[in-house]
Amino acid sequence: MEIFGVPSALLGSQLLVGLINGSFYAILSLGLAIIFGLLNIINFAHGAQYMMGAFVAWIALTKFGVNYWVALLLSPIIIGALGVVIERTMLRKLYKLDHLYGLLLTFGLALIFEGLFRDQYGISGQSYPVPELLQGGINLGFMFLPIYRGWVVVAALTVCFGTWFVIEKTKLGAYLRAGTENPQIVQALGINVPLLITFTYGFGVALAAFAGVLAAPVYQVNPLMGANLIIVVFAVVVIGGMGSIMGSILTGLGLGLIEGLTRVFYPEASAVVVFVIMVIVLLVRPAGLFGKA
């Protein structure tokens, strides 16, 4: 079976890879958007925290024999706790200053994390085995679907929409949205905004670590795995705008799919297609697809 002269199995598998990348873009840009909403900083360390999430899972497995499912829970908690410490000890001091200092501080942190892991583990990737329960695949007729890859998409989307639900439909989410709009008033109403901020940063970071664990069996676990990804995610954020949670999710998924399609029809451009789309969006709709002008 062929579609536009391309075998459907190739098209299907590249679209699946695109969907997986898109899920990671969605989780990461979601985390960036939540953090930016309340803290007004861009978390440059997001890529490094994603990488550390993957490494914690890999170290837990190889050194302590902790299995994938425990790591999927444990790693976000550990990295999220680290995020809480960072927020309490460093980021907190910067809220009154220009937003750029937050970017610079987290950039410095990213360099430290990546440097430490590179010194310890080199730049060659470590492989993480696919958990037993999710090995093998299903033949869908037009393509072969590895079960783990399907699981990544389902898990990522569940977390994304769960986050969306919490923020848009629950009381906690209402506090969060109110804090984004006007922290002084929310504080005056008796809500502990500093605690809310700490929790938000920890949660955003935990999301990155969760994506890291999901990514570990698909890609090699490598100290630089987050560095290049985060730049693409920045472009995703510019395209989507950080104003809307659902916007971040949809933009992330959509761009992943477009990237997958590009890999089929014009592979040379697949590394830059997201940037090209960013340029087009900036020319046509400078505020971003879901941004408020």
Partner 1 sequence: MNNTNSMFARATPLLFGVLFVIGLVAPFAMYPTFLMKILCFGLFACAFNLLLGFVGLLSFGHAAFLGSAGYICGMLVRDLGVTPEVGVIGGTLAAGALGWVFGVLAIRRTGIYFAMITLALSQMVYFFVLQWKATGGEDGLQGVPRGHLFGIIDLSNNIAMYYFVFAVFCIGFAIIYRAIHSPFGQILKAIRENEPRAVSLGYDVAKFKLLAFVLSASLAGLAGATKTLVFQLASLTDVHWHMSGEVVLMTLLGGLGTILGPLVGAATIVSLQTELADSVGSWVTVIMGVIFVVCVLLFRRGIVGELQALIQRAGIR
Contact residues: partner 1, CB under 8 A: 36, 41-42, 90, 93-94, 97-101, 103-105, 107-116, 118-119, 227-228, 231-232, 234-235, 237-238, 268, 271-272, 275-276, 278-279, 282-283, 286-287
* DSSP count for the chain of H helices, then E strands: 11, 4
Least distance in angstroms from the C-beta of 203 to partner 1:
20
CA dist 21 → 60, 90, 157, 251, 254 (Å): 24, 31, 12, 12, 10
Q: Which string of b and e fits 18-47 if b means at least 16 CB within 10 Å?
A: bbbbbbbbbbbbbbbbbbbbbbebbbbbbb
At 63, which amino acid appears? K
CB nearer partner 1, residue 61 or residue 239: 239
Least distance in angstroms from the C-beta of 276 to partner 1:
8
CA distance 13 to 150: 11
Least distance in angstroms from the C-beta of 97 to partner 1:
8
CB nearer partner 1, residue 195 or residue 283: 283
Least distance in angstroms from the C-beta of 100 to partner 1:
5
CA dist 269 → 121, 199, 226 (Å): 31, 39, 21
CB nearer partner 1, residue 188 or residue 282: 282
CB nearer partner 1, residue 38 or residue 213: 38
